Structure 1
Amino acid sequence: MAAQIPSRARIAQAFDAAATYDAHAVVQRQVAAWLAERIVAVAPTAPRVLEVGCGTGFLTQAAWPRLDRPDWLMTDIAPEMLARGQARMPGARGRVLDGEHPDLAGEAAFDLIVSSLAVQWFGDLAAGLRRLAAHLAPGGRMLVTTLVEGTFADWHDAHRAEGFAAGSPSYPAVAALAETGWHVTTQTFEQRHGSAADFVRALRAIGAGTPRAGHRPIPPGAMRRIARAFEAGGAVATYEVALIEVTASWSGITSV
């Protein structure tokens, strides 16, 4: 389940530069609230929680105060994002961490590993989740949300009509996720923009504007036609989101 994504350094730099993240991350806040409900429903008493890709703290803020005496470790690959997240939730611990290749030396096993809209940046989702699952305590559980196939469908359709591929990553199909043995539920979120330019600016503002590896710039004339087609459909960005639940006993596979 490998994906053509930007380098880890480019991802970290893009998110560190997203100074206006909170103002533009409308769907990200909604997805965090959805995931938080599930976390609260399954969390044991006094859980040890590892959060991967905490960003500015949407998920931490939505779930941590509702748990019974949690030991919550916020992590992110982008130091500035982590700093903003910890400023929002000073009671949680923090650590700069590449969640796909986690170095958790000195940490005991976790009852819960959680992540909201971060693991889609993994180069190999199944392998990355398997490495994280190795840090679960017996009976532990991992709950993560990720973007799946169908995300930004209108944007991709407008590109294909002009013979081009959009620069956003290719996300996995829900059926491929289910084949791993994970429990997968899905939900659709939408955000309407004033124009195609507004949509692109919003992606950049939340650090998600870095194109996938190998993407080539589109000629200006074709880009204008793509923008008009996207706007004709209402300039709606559709986010198809999967909530994946993994147990500590999952053995995992490296690809599907």
Structure 2
Amino acid sequence: MPRAEAPPKGSLDRALEVFEILTVRGSATTAELVEAVGASRSAVYRLVERLQAAEYLALADGRWRLGPAAARMAMAAVQHMDVFAAAPPLLRDLAARTGETVNLGVLSGGEIVFVFRELGRHAVQVRSELGARRPLHATAVGKAYLSGLSPERRDALIAGSALERFTEATVTDPDRLREELAAARRRGWTEERGEFDAGTTCFGAPVFEQSGQVAAAVSVAGPTARVAGEAFGPLVAEAAGIVSRRLGHVRPEG
């Protein structure tokens, strides 16, 4: 049976080849790209001009290099892949040490979305589904995320939130919330007792990427009747700190 011929290369295929070439070589002339891609000089030149206009390529001294848009895309991909690679082993260990449910959440649309969950050893657990959304102001994981932000970014998110009341314990006053976040920032972890779900106590801490920006937040949650005191606060802060260091973050002195 004759082998099917490969479909002809389109602009997307050629663009991907250009990215691969420049990733490996660092830079290349138009002539080198023409030879490597196997297309006409005019086709390659039209392609690189379009990529340059979109800042995916940059031309300097007659050689093409990856541009700022490509760098931004790569940084975003590495940031999320690094968090997902670095966090799970430490979060599983945290769940084993505390016996309670541990979650990893990221910011999406002004809320926290759970992207990782590890259950503890107890028969009765605080269960949260992957993809579940939680408010920033009424959860330990949300407050942890807020506590790691710059004042400007934090205040913008608070101003954009309705600060909905979920239980009698929910903090709905912006000034009181800021005071809680300032205290949490000083000690390294947040605490929430029945503010989102009555009968549940949670502790959280932010995870920082290399640049110092907040990448995610970690929380440990259990029934209030079983989670007494503040022993889990330092544990979740320790786990989040190790994840942050694995992402290249260096905590500033003082």
TM-score (norm 2): 0.29
TM-score by length of 1: 0.29
User: Highest CA radius of gyration, 1 or 2?
Assistant: 2
Q: Greater share of helix residues, 1 or 2?
A: 2
